[in-house]
Amino acid sequence: MPVGPKSLLRRNGEMNSHTRNRNRPAAPPERRFRGNVTNPAYITQVTQSQYRIPPAEALNKMKMLEHCDRAVINPMFHTPSPDHPSNDPKINEFISVDKAVINFFFGRGVPDYNKIKATNNDDQRSHIHTPPDNWVDQYPLHSAAYEGNATEVAQLLHRGYPADQPDVHLWVPLHYACWNGHVEAVKTLLLNHNCSPNTENDSGSTPLHFSAFKGHAEVVRLLLNHRDIDKFVVNKEGRTPLQLCEESRQHDWETTKKLLKEAKEKPSHIKIDVHLMDLDGSHVVLDLEKGSNTLIADLVQQLQLPRGGLQIFAVWIASQNLHLQMRPEHKPVLHLKQWDSIIRQLTNYNPDTERPLLYLKRDALLTVEEERTIRDPQAIKMLFDECLLNVLKGMYPCNDADVITLAGIYMQITYGDHDPKRHRAGFLNNINLRHFIPSIKLEGKGQSSRSTNWAQKIVNEHRNVTQKGIRDVTKLQTMYLEICRSFPVYGSAIFFGSAQLGGSRRGQGGSQRSPAAFVGVNSRGIHLINAISKMMILSVGYKQGLTWEISSDMQTLTLLIQDGNGYRSLPVKTKQAAIISNLANKLSGRMSPEDQPSTSRANSLQRH
């Protein structure tokens, strides 16, 4: 958008320093501005000898580019200066730049083009804001929005023209409708799911910048009432819509100014839920102060995480078959809106069955060794809650002894000391047992699971924990976590695919079975879990010689597992192959010796 006079004159002064004689006193800034800018909207008479192109052609270019904020052409471009010889390095350096200054007159009103006379009488005229000849054919929706034809806009949207398509200047149709104040066209565009009121052009200006700058109060009102609007947006020059409105003072600028000030002071009523990883299904409700421009970093600031929480936890977006960790600069509202297309891109599942939610979860880049240094009770509780969920869902495959040990600790956390009169075998039934052991164990698909008296063994383990005298909840939670940290898959980011079992050594054939599989990636290695039985298919550490390849279509991740006879390959069909590979590349370089999976499994509390 336009820069202030000081900035303009400073830039122009720098430009002029290359073209004036050093012994000649500097001309006043206004004179230098007139002498170095081909701007027919500023001067009314020009001569052919002063400029590289005919004035009529310059005038026509100004009309065509009036909707751009960079429309001033350097008149010295490839033109020798009378003050310097053509071989002077300073003038050669200057004239190699075609666009020299910002157009100070951008949006200052329409000049009277009738007063601008071309010396060659080549009176080439066109309508204000006339785009290139092929613009209508190339961008019909932009053209309809520009003209304010709401009916045509609706028809084009219905025919599938994208409301968020940028043109060469990164203007979307909403930019044009807002610039010209076409209220009905703006209404029609905003009804489209893909039309964001916060889309930025190449200068970082949004439709709210444009409508505020032009003083279109009703358009500004429409935008401010949109649930996704960012009222605090700034362009690349750090200017807000309110600042531009106060500077330009066009049309109904006073009403526009009032609307912008009221909106800025009014608290946001748009909220978003971030779910916590606990059995209660808890969630926190956060403000979307910047609408769809709200960043993950903005949400995290509202979460009041425990000390060091930014390095421990991250916001994830997840549905049933796709979990993605989000970066601080991501915009969650846009991800939620685009989830259908993300599902199609990264999975083979039906988007209609995938309902995305935001979750606060353990950061995928956090190593076990880093986690062991955490002492904050709130952070430990949050890690414990997430770990408990993963155990109960069967995402941390473990043997029956581990299951009983973990359940005994959780009984102590939940019910306190063992009471022989109350905590008998009948105290646990098929309903509340699911809060203590993985459901896959209760389903009894294995012989050992069917014959196990889970209730009695858990009650006995509860008694053992009580006898050890550990009653501090945080210590008990840490004990639970430490056992789970011995599982190779602990802390993994989970992806989805199908493992091509019965694989072969490189260069050999073999029969194939393809069970659905969870692919776990953590700082230890890559792990495959059967999605049905929840049994571990494979767990290989990076230091065991594990490497991997991605197919050319980016839909197969081939694990290359080193053994005594070379490499054995195990292909995993997944559209998430590139994401898995990128994460594994990051994590494989962050390992510490202590972070390798233990070969012995914890079956009791003796280690504590």
Q: What is the pLDDT of residues 513-550, one digit of tens each?
A: 789 999 999 999 999 999 999 999 999 999 888 999 99
| Predicted confidence (pLDDT) at residue 267 exceeds the cutoff of 80 | yes
| DSSP strands (E only) in 266-369 | 271-276, 283-287, 313-319, 322-325, 357-362
Around 111, how many Cα atoms within 13 Å sit in the side-chain half-sphere?
17
Partners of 493 in beta bridges:
521
CB 428 within 8 A of CB 458: yes
Instruction: Lowest mean pLDDT of 108-112, 117-121, 496-500, 534-538, name the range.
Output: 117-121
What topology does CATH give the domain 137-265? Answer: 1.25.40
Q: Span 344-348, mean pLDDT?
A: 95
| Cα 290-292-294 angle, rounded to 5 deg | 45
| DSSP strands (E only) in 76-173 | none
d(CA 575, CA 348): 8
pLDDT interval class at 295 (50, 70, 90): very high
Residue 3, token pair as written in the block = 């820069």
More confident residue, 85 or 485: 485
Reference 518, options 508, 506, 510, 526; nearest CA is 526
Q: Span 218-226, mean pLDDT?
A: 96
pLDDT interval class at 313 (50, 70, 90): very high
d(CA 475, CA 130): 72
| Predicted confidence (pLDDT) at residue 424 exceeds the cutoff of 60 | yes
Instruction: Lowest mean pLDDT of 14-28, 269-283, 290-304, 433-447, name the range.
Output: 14-28
What topology does CATH give the domain 493-595? Answer: PH-domain like (2.30.29)
| Predicted confidence (pLDDT) at residue 329 exceeds the cutoff of 50 | yes
**DSSP letter for each residue of 351-384:** GGG---EEEEEE-TT--HHHHHT---HHHHHHHH
CB 365 within 8 A of CB 303: no
Q: Is the pTM of this model over 0.75?
A: no
**DSSP letter for each residue of 441-458:** HHTT-SHHHHH--HHHHH
Q: Span 397-416, mean pLDDT?
A: 96
Provide CATH code, domain 271-363: 3.10.20.90
Q: What is the pLDDT of residues 125-178, one digit of tens each?
A: 223 344 566 778 899 999 999 999 999 999 999 999 999 999 988 999 999 999
d(CA 194, CA 197): 10
Q: How many CB atoms lie within 10 A of CB 126?
A: 12
Task: Write phi, then psi, for 537 (nearest 5 degrees).
Answer: -85, -45
d(CA 276, CA 440): 23
d(CA 196, CA 170): 13
Task: Write phi, then psi, for 404 (nearest 5 degrees).
Answer: -65, -40
Provide CATH code, domain 371-485: 1.20.80.10
Question: Where along the chain do its domains lie?
Answer: 5-115, 137-265, 271-363, 371-485, 493-595
CA distances to 205, 246, 451 from 175, rounded to whole Å, are 9, 20, 69
